[in-house]
Every structure is written in C-alpha cells, then in structure tokens.
Chain A
Amino acid sequence: MSSDLEQLAQDLKNIVGEEYVFTDVFERIAYADTSLPYDVEKTDLPDVVVHPADAQEISKILKYANANNVPITTYGSGTSLIFGTKPKHKGISLSTERLKNFEIREDHQWFECGAGVKAGYAIEALGKLGYFLPIQTQAGSSIGGAVSVNTIGHLTDNAFGRPVNNVLALEVVLPTGEIIQTGSECLRRSAGWDLARIFIGSEGILGIITKVRMVLYPTPQMVDAVGFFKSTEEIGRVIGLMYEKKLPLPMDGEFVGEKACKVGYEAYGLDFPEGALAVTRSMGWTKEEALRNANLLVDLFKSAGAIDAFILEDEAIKKQVWGVRENAMRWGQEKGLKGYLAIEVNPALPLLPDAMNELVHITEGRNDLIGDTEAYVYGHVGSDSLHCLFAFPYDWSTEKMKQVVDEIWNLEKELQTKYRGVGGDWGWLPHRVPFYREKYGEVSYGIIKKMKQLFDPNDILNRGNVEGEV
C-alpha cells in the first residue's frame, strides 16, 4: 500500500475507529464484486472500505473526502442487480451496514430505522407487532438502499405505494458533509416542498440517506391464488382484463413463462398443467375480503381461458407454486448454462400481451450472441414488470461475456422504448444512462447532471454513475 493510501486509511481510522477501516484485498473484493457474469478487475476495487456508525461520522468522512478529493462509493447491502455499488474511481467504499437503529413508535404510527437495516429484519420486527413493511425486496437488502432506489420489490404500485409515498422523513448527509433532516413527525406529508422527494429514488448521487421514517401499515390479510394458462401471452391479456373489469389488484403477483415453468415443474416433480402460470396474493382487511378478492381473480382466470385456477389453500401446493418462481436463478442450469443476465421491461398496459409474446420468442432468428442464449420469461402480475433471464455458458471468454452483456442491455433499451416503459426497480444507474438520454432527451439528462453538480460540486459521491460508467 502506498504512503498516500496508508495516510487515507489512518485518517479514516481517526474518524471511525481502527476496527472499522479495511484495506485488506478480500474486504475490498466483497465491496466491489457485482452480479455481472464476468469478474471484477483489481482496478475496480476501492482503496479502502469504511464502516461509519452514524450520520456524524459519515459527515466527517465526506468533509475529509471533499478536502482531499477522494471519491466515495456508497454501499447498502450489495444486493442491487445493477452494480451501482462498484467503485468506478477507486477511493472509499462507504458501507451503511452499521446504521442499524430500529424503533417502532406505535403512538406516532411510524417506524424509524437506520439505512443499514435489512428488509428481512424490518419485516420480522414490524410483523411481530402486526405491521407490514411496504417494501418487499429480498431479505438481505437494506432499507436505505431500497429508499434511495424508490423500489418496492415485488409489490404492486397501487397497493401501498412506493417509498416516495410512505416516507415521512429522512436524515441525509449531503455530499459536502452537511447533515439535513426532511419531513416531520406528523403522518400528514408535506403537500409542497419536501426535499425527501429529491433524495428518494436519486440512487445515491445527491446524498447518503442515513435514517428513514416511514408510516406504519397494519398487516393485511392475504390469500393466494394460481392460474395455469396455455401461454404467457394469455396471462398478458388477463392482466389487461383485470384492470378493465376494475377488479381489486393483487398486492403481489408473479407470472412464469412456459419454458421456466417446465424447468420448475421438472425440478420439483410437479404435475401442473403444461404452459405458463400466474400466482397472485390478494389482500383485504379481513380474511373474507382477501378471499373474496382472490376469488374474483380465480373467476377471471377461468373465464379468460385458464386451464385451471384455484385458491392456494394447501400450504404444500402454495410452497410449490411460489417455488417455481423462486427457482428463477437456476434456470439455464438444466442445460449446463451457468452464466446469466436478466432485464427489466415495463410495457404500457395495452402493449403487455405483445411485449410478453416478444420476450417469449426473443432469441429466435437472431444472429447475435443473444441468439446463442436460452431466454426464460417471468415477471409480475399487477405491477406490469416483465423480466427475461438470458442464460449462457460460463466458459465464454470475458470479451464474449462483455459483448453479450452489451447486446442484452441494448435490447433492454430497445424494448423499454418500444413498449413505452421506464421501470428502474433494480436501480437506474449507471448502465441505463443511454436509455434515459434517448427517452427523455439531453435537456432532462442535463438537469440531472446540474443537480448532481449543485449537491456535489467536487463530484465526490458515487463518481461516474451519472456519466453511465459501468
């Protein structure tokens, strides 16, 4: 380690304490590696990983970084599928994992948590008191990360809204080191200016969210249902009918395409009808209401030509049905394909069946590397978000891997444009900058760059993400 880096580490140790600063290569790898199918390079590693305890320590680190022009990349839990956490310019990887304070204030009807609190922990802690976390991301993801992306995971947008609808207040450390508070202790959110809305969904380029206060929702009653269809496209049409008939949307819903279903059924030895499946989780404030809502979907599925549809009463069958969807990360392995990359496409409602159909046949007749992949279609029912997982051999060269990744991202851009969506629950930056520029134009992109410059004049925080560096 060079003397400059030794000095950097020592200076950080003076701020957070010796045991929370890491320069060891293995620590730096863990905070740089991503879900991309090719490996990180040594040049991708941060110089140092630091674990501050609170906003005050983060503030001191940011002030130090500004004074010494050291870039900082923030790290919540690393579960992002879009690898915004990989440092583009080395420097400091700043983890919020130690920000774990958690307080439920039933008298105020909100809870407050540190940015590093994991969704799994929050779901459990809230659940014990009969409350529901309106962010259903994977158990290991951080609340700070989810709020910074404004994601709700698998939930339907209009069930509980997004973090931007549910956050009452934030504590944020600005890139220049000042600590600010937004919002209030009141359940009535500000109708006018509320800086929280600027930080929520800004993906960490304007500040580091250190504390989140969110409204409490009582846990709803939930009833699951399943429909088996001949094709994915049919599910697309049913989703359209669900809106058209003004049915209560499920709070969570998934569909699995034909090819992926086949793999899942075989993996679990299931005797389900051949084709695609849609599984829904209806909610209600009473069990009867939830059941009634679920039955409305079952009736819809049947009237729309489902091979079979029923309420998932049997816990074992329910586990199997959801298991088919949870099996997603192993698709491709049945053919010995261990590499993969997934995309997100969010079609406008009338275009949903066409988009689904196109994704099902996406690899057919192509002369590029995508044509050499196996594609598995899946996604959400109600939140109209489609995914396609492309599986390919892991023994492809890094160059070939990078080429297929570029092709897949370009395809995602084309499909989002064609089907008029935006999405972003996996995080926008940095790889979707080209899409953003194309969809919204240079004026919009320029506003984001100016906002970044306004908040972060020395370009300290998550440097390179706005520029689209991968």
Chain B
Amino acid sequence: MEALQTEESMVRFLNEALISCEKCHLCNTVCPVCDPRVTQGPYGINRSIYYGLKWNQFTEKLRDLIYSCTTCGKCEIKCKGVSRALPLVEIIEKARELLLVEKMLGPMPEQTNVLKNMHVRGNPWGNAPHERTDWARGLDIPFATTNHPVDVLYFVGCASSYDPQAQKIAKNLSKLLKQAGVNFGILEKELCSGHEARRMGETGLFQFLSEANLELFEQAGIHHIVTGDPHSFYSFSNEYPFGEKGPKVQHYTQFLNEIIDKGQLKLICDVDKKVTYHDPCYLGRRSEIYDEPRKLIQSIPGVKPVEMKNCKEDSNCCGMGGGRMWMEPPKTLVSSQSIANSRVLQALDTGAEILLTACPFCNITLNDAVKALEKEGDIKVMDITELIAVAL
C-alpha cells in the first residue's frame, strides 16, 4: 500500500511541479470550469496553489478554486501537447490532500458528509449498506463467495447500486452477462471503491476502502473484475495495490466486446437509431479506452453512430467528476449544470436521437441536463448496455 504523504513531501511535489508552468494559459482554453475569468481555469488554480504555498495563504477562496476542478484531465493533455507537460490533475489532487489533511480546509462543506458516509456506510449517499443489492432482487444474481466461486465479479459501484437512473446499468449489464452464459456474481457487502474520496483529497479514507475491498476480493477468490463504473475501473487499474497476481480488471465495454467476438453474446435485433457517444473522462482520457465503446456500439445492428465535435481524447466533461457530484461551486465559479448542458447541446448538434455513455455519473448528469434544457423529445440519454439489451 502506498505510504501516506507528509506535509513536507506534498509541498515539495507541488512546488517542483508548479515551478515550471510556462503561464501560456493554453490549459484554460480547454477547461470546462474556466469561463470567463482566467482565475477559474487550470492556470489560475495552479498559480493560486503556487503562491498560496509561497505566501502561506490558505483560505476558503483557495479551497473553492481547488475543489472546482472536475479532474477531467483535458488540460493535462493540452499541456503535454504544446507546453511543459505539467501533471495538472495530480497537482489538484495533491493540493486537495494538503488542504484536507494538513490545513483542515478541505473538502467543500457539502462533501464532508459524503466522506463520512463513505466511511460509515460504504457509499457516498449514506444509503443503508443492506440496501446495496436491492436492485438485484428477483434477478437471480448470485453473491460471489468461496462457496460460490465465480469466473467474473461484477463490481457494481455505488451509483449503479443506489441511484434509480443508474440502477438500469446494473440490471442491463447483468441481463447481458446472463444471456451470454457468463458465470458471474456480485459482492453482498461491496464497498465504495474510494475513487471519489481520493479525488477529494481524502487519501486515508481511500486507503481504508481499498484495503477493505481487497479483503473482500480475496475472501471471494476473485480473479477477474468487470465494472460499469469508469471511476472504480480507474482506481482498480491505477491506484489499488493489486500486485502482479491481482485480478484482471476490465470495464464492461472491454469485456462485452470479447464475449461478442467469441459468439457468446449475439445481437440480432435491428436498432434503427442515430446515436452519439460521450466519452466518460475516467474511461477515455484517464484510461485511454476510446475504441472499445465505439466497437461495441457498432456491433449493434442498424445503429448509425455519429461523433460529437469534441470526442475521444478531446471529449468534453459532463461536469460531475472530481467530487463535483456532491457540491455546487460558489456563484462566481462555473456551475455543474452549465457544463452538462453544453455537452448535451453538442450532442444535439449531431442530430443524434440517443446520447450514449458508459458511466453512471455521466448518465445521471446528462439525463438531468436533457431535462433542464427541456429536450426530452429530441434526445434520450442511455448507457450502452441499455441499447445492447434492446438488440438481443
């Protein structure tokens, strides 16, 4: 397990990373939270961190700026391409850790309960742990245990376990796995992956949750994890200390392609729809999985995929990553709603009837944006699993 950092090591990392900023502002040109003030984007946030450290200025204004970032990583790609390749997301996360752990300033007030819920109830919403698998009632989905070993663990994630909109992902994915004859199961006592705790700077809680999940995986003899949550997928793939003998981890877009290629899952019904795909930040830019979702969509008979103006590496964020799901930034910063709205408007520009995605956060957020824009009659937000289920 990665050692928790000291204040000294965090400050050293931040200083060394930030000192080489060229101040070209190109990061701001792609940032979803930068509009219109230069302070709002990665340039302003990073300058604030740098001088905050230098002048020992730690205030709520600084906290508000640092926590306004969605951690979508678009600025990092820009910086790598045309400037000095600063690790911009890591800088934000480390600054949050510093504020939360050492300065007692983080997280945002609304996020405090979220972290407490993760710790006490194992999910950010504070739902009862025993209700976690309620979505599966009547679906005959086994729990993975040593007495009932499974080939594949379906790690559901908190949103798909509890949120009514996102529960459709869990139900549809389970239906597809069953249809394909996959020997899979879920964990009765699955816990939050801790991904969002880490994004909010609560690295200790992330460690606690990851250790607890590791124990559950070990007890159930898990060798292969498939998840529908790109956030958990990212943490499992990059932040969990699985080691060399750890389980194989896949997002469902990877796994479903494999079983379709093997002929285990057959899609036979025509779905005569024009669709566009929104790359979730933690599946796309952060995990570089761009082709598998598109291949999966193309395997649905009759579907006509079109791309939005910003797609793949250049995709726009839905606005809810990096802990923003549970906070609304101050009035002077960009609202989450406006970020999601602009993404839906891009989807509408394509003329697509269905806006597909592969992340419960994006699904919830983009659905809300469609309603806010009163465009329910023009476009429908669906997870890829939902459309595949129609094609069975």
By a beta-carbon cutoff of 8 Å, the part of chain A in contact with chain B is 19, 22, 24-27, 29-31, 33-35, 39-40, 42, 51, 75, 77-79, 95, 97-98, 100, 116, 118, 120, 138-140, 323, 326-327, 329-330, 333, 338, 340, 394
Contact = CB atoms under 8 A, between A and B. Distances in A.
A26 B44 contact: yes
Given A33-B23, A338-B19, A100 B36 contact: yes
A62 B43 CA distance: 28
A120 B47 contact: no
B54 A39 contact: yes
Contacts of B147: none
Contacts of B23: 33-35, 78
Given A77-B38, A98-B36, A330 B26 contact: no
- B24, B62, B331 — which one has the most chain A CB atoms within 10 A of its CB? B24
A26 B82 contact: no
Nearest to B55: A42
Nearest to B25: A140
A27 B84 CA distance: 23
Interface size class of B (residues with CB under 8 A): 20 to 34
Given A78-B38, A116-B36, A138-B26, A30 B20 contact: no
B25 A77 contact: yes
A52 to B, nearest CB: 12
A394 B20 contact: yes
Given A97-B36, A329-B24, A29 B48 contact: yes
B29 interface: yes
Contact of A329 (B62, B65, B84): B84
A327 B79 CA distance: 10
24 contacts: A22-B39, A24-B61, A26-B39, A26-B48, A26-B65, A27-B37, A30-B48, A31-B39, A33-B51, A35-B23, A42-B55, A51-B36, A77-B25, A78-B38, A79-B25, A95-B38, A139-B29, A326-B82, A327-B82, A329-B24, A330-B83, A330-B85, A333-B84, A340-B22
B29 A118 contact: yes
B38 A97 contact: yes
Nearest to B332: A19
Contacts of A116: 36
A16 to B, nearest CB: 13
A271 to B, nearest CB: 21
Given A79-B25, A97-B37, A97-B38, A26 B54 contact: no
B28 interface: yes
What 4 A-B pairs come out closest when comparing CB atoms? A338-B20, A30-B39, A26-B48, A30-B44
Contacts of A30: 37-39, 43-44, 47-48
A29 B36 contact: no
A31 B38 CA distance: 8
Contacts of B52: 26
Interface string B330-372: 0110000000000000000000000000000000000000000
Interface in B200-244: none
B179 interface: no
B24 A394 contact: no
A51 B37 contact: yes
Given A30-B39, A97-B36, A78 B20 contact: no
Contacts, number: 101
B221 to A, nearest CB: 42
Contact of A33 (B28, B47, B82, B83): B47
B84 A26 contact: no
Given A30-B43, A33-B51, A140-B29, 9 more contacts: A24-B59, A25-B51, A27-B37, A29-B48, A78-B38, A138-B26, A140-B24, A327-B82, A394-B19
B258 to A, nearest CB: 29
B282 to A, nearest CB: 25
B392 to A, nearest CB: 39
B81 interface: yes
Contact of A26 (B22, B26, B36, B62): B62
B264 interface: no
A77 B43 CA distance: 11
A26 B51 contact: yes
B244 to A, nearest CB: 28
B9 interface: no
Contacts of B146: none
B37 A95 contact: yes
A330 B21 CA distance: 11
A27 B55 CA distance: 14
A26 B26 CA distance: 19
Interface in B2-29: 19-20, 22-26, 28-29
Contacts of A19: 331-332
A394 B65 CA distance: 26
B95 to A, nearest CB: 12
B25 A333 contact: no
B346 to A, nearest CB: 13
A31 B44 CA distance: 9
B331 to A, nearest CB: 6
B82 A329 contact: yes
B57 interface: yes
A24 B29 CA distance: 23
Contacts of B83: 329-330
Contacts of B84: 329-330, 333, 338
A333 to B, nearest CB: 7
B5 to A, nearest CB: 22
Nearest to B330: A19
A19 B54 CA distance: 27
Nearest to B37: A97
A35 B24 contact: yes
A139 B36 contact: no
A120 B19 CA distance: 27
Contacts of A51: 36-37
Nearest to A35: B23
Nearest to B60: A24
Interface string B72-102: 0000000001111100000000000000000
A35 B20 CA distance: 10
Nearest to A29: B51
A327 B62 CA distance: 31
A17 to B, nearest CB: 11
A405 to B, nearest CB: 15
